[in-house]
Each structure stands twice: as C-alpha cells, then as structure tokens.
Structure 1
Amino acid sequence: MPIEFLKKLLEENPLIKAVREISLEFRQLMKTKQGDQLQDWCNKALDSGVEALKGFVRGVKQDFKAIFQAFTSEWSNGQVEGQVNRLKNIKRQMYGRASFELLRKRVILMGNPDFHQM
C-alpha cells in the first residue's frame, strides 16, 4: 500500500486512525513485553468506542492471566511450534502414500543434520 494512500486514509477517517494507533500500541506492548501496561491498553481500547476492539478486549479479559504471562515471560514455545509445523508438513507430503514406519524414518532422518549433507 503506497504511503501517500495510507496518509490520506488516516487523515480522512478518524476511526481507521484510532484503530491503527491502538493496534500498533498493542503490538508494541507485545514486542517489548510490557505486560504491566496491558490493563491500561484494554481500558483505552474499550474507551475507543470501536466494537471490534471491544470484542477483542472481551477475549483478552477471558484469558487475561495467560495473555499477561505471554507478555511478561521470557519463555517462548516458538521452538516447539516450529517442530510441530515441520512434522505436519512432512506428514502432509506423505499423506496416503506411505506407512507410519516410513514417516517415522523420514522424520528422524530430516532431524539429523548429517542427512542434509548427503
């Protein structure tokens, strides 16, 4: 999207501008792990009057403890999710073509760094 178009859109539509600012603020809180600011952000989003943001905040509040932990914890499940994604891709490639034993061998071989040098 050209920058000029975005600037014009934000100038002419205060609702879009508000949603963008609040969304970018949420992203920054996540990125910088500022969980202590999450409740203030929720209040700001609710005060915006934007129904979609209100719905999002309701979802956040339903699982606030878990989301707060995600914002503040140094731990990440990124490695696990990456491995699950890799396994699912291998499984999709082999769907209907091979047995579980062949899938098992392929997963084990692909996890071996020496396999890629062969």
Structure 2
Amino acid sequence: MSEDPTLLDEQIEQFLGHLYDCAPELLKAGDLARRFAALIRGDDDAGLEQWIEDATNSELASLAAAIGRDIAAVRGAITKPWSTSPGEGQINRLKTIKRQMYGRSGYPLLRNRLLAAA
C-alpha cells in the first residue's frame, strides 16, 4: 500500500466532518491516533511523554495509561532497530503445525513434521 494515509478523498472528508460534528471527542482521538502513528514511524519528534499527557483525558486514556506503565519498553520499541519478528514467525509456524496435529500422536511426530517443514 503506497498511498499516503493522510490523503483522503472528498466523500471520506465529508463523512468525517459529519462524524466529528456528531461526536467531537472522535476528532481529538483521531488526531491522537495520527500523532501516535507518526511517533511509531519516527516522523514526529514531539515526544512520547507529551502524547501520553495529551491522551490522558481522551478516548485513548487507557492506551496512554498502559504505555505510561512501561514507557521504557515502548520507547525502546520505537527507537531501536531490533525486532522479534523472525522469532515470532517461527513460533507461529510451530503453533500452526501443532494445532493441525491436535489429538494425533505426540512429540516425536511433531518433531518430524517440524523438521520436514524446515
């Protein structure tokens, strides 16, 4: 998906305008969500602490509280280039094979299936 998510067509703009008129708190939540996405992408230098402070009295208050409880981990996930994606992918593959085998044989068959799939 190469389209810029901030570019909206006229029909969507009208819908959002009507929605924000009916529920103004969604305007603030939408702005906070866009700012958070920019933080994750590294496009915004405003700071995570400022986002948490701004989100505390909004529809995203529970997300802000959860991020605030473990802010060091969130900051690390945003700023560090490392990822656990390869490990998570292997775990997902293992669990998928294990679910397919539910009720069949035991560990030896699971081991053989994993080695055969590798």
Query: Comparing both structures, which one devotes a greater share of its residues to helix?
Result: 1
Aligned 8 A contact 1:33 1:71 in 2: no
Report the Cα distance in structure 2 between the residues aligned to 1:27 and 1:35, rounded to whole angstroms. 12
Equivalent of residue 116 in structure 2, options 97, 109, 116:
109
Aligned length: 107
Equivalent of residue 33 in structure 2, options 10, 14, 23:
23
Equivalent of residue 42 in structure 2, options 3, 19, 32:
32
Aligned 8 A contact 1:35 1:71 in 2: no
- Residue number in structure 1 paired with 2:6: none
Unaligned runs of 5+ in 2: 1-10
Amino acid paired to 2:54: K
Question: Comparing both chains, which one has the higher relative contact order based on Cα–Cα distances under 8 Å and sequence gaps of 6 or more?
Answer: 1
Give, in angstroms, the shift of residue 27 of structure 1.
1.6
Q: TM-score, normalised by structure 1?
A: 0.78
Aligned 8 A contact 2:35 2:44 in 1: no
Q: TM-score, normalised by structure 2?
A: 0.78
Amino acid paired to 2:102: Y
> Quick check: 1:73 aligned with 2:80?
yes
Unaligned runs of 5+ in 1: 112-118
Identity of aligned residues (%): 34
> Quick check: 1:56 aligned with 2:63?
yes
Give, in angstroms, the shift of residue 70 of structure 1.
0.5
Question: Cα RMSD over matched residues?
Answer: 2.1
Equivalent of residue 52 in structure 2, options 37, 42, 58:
42
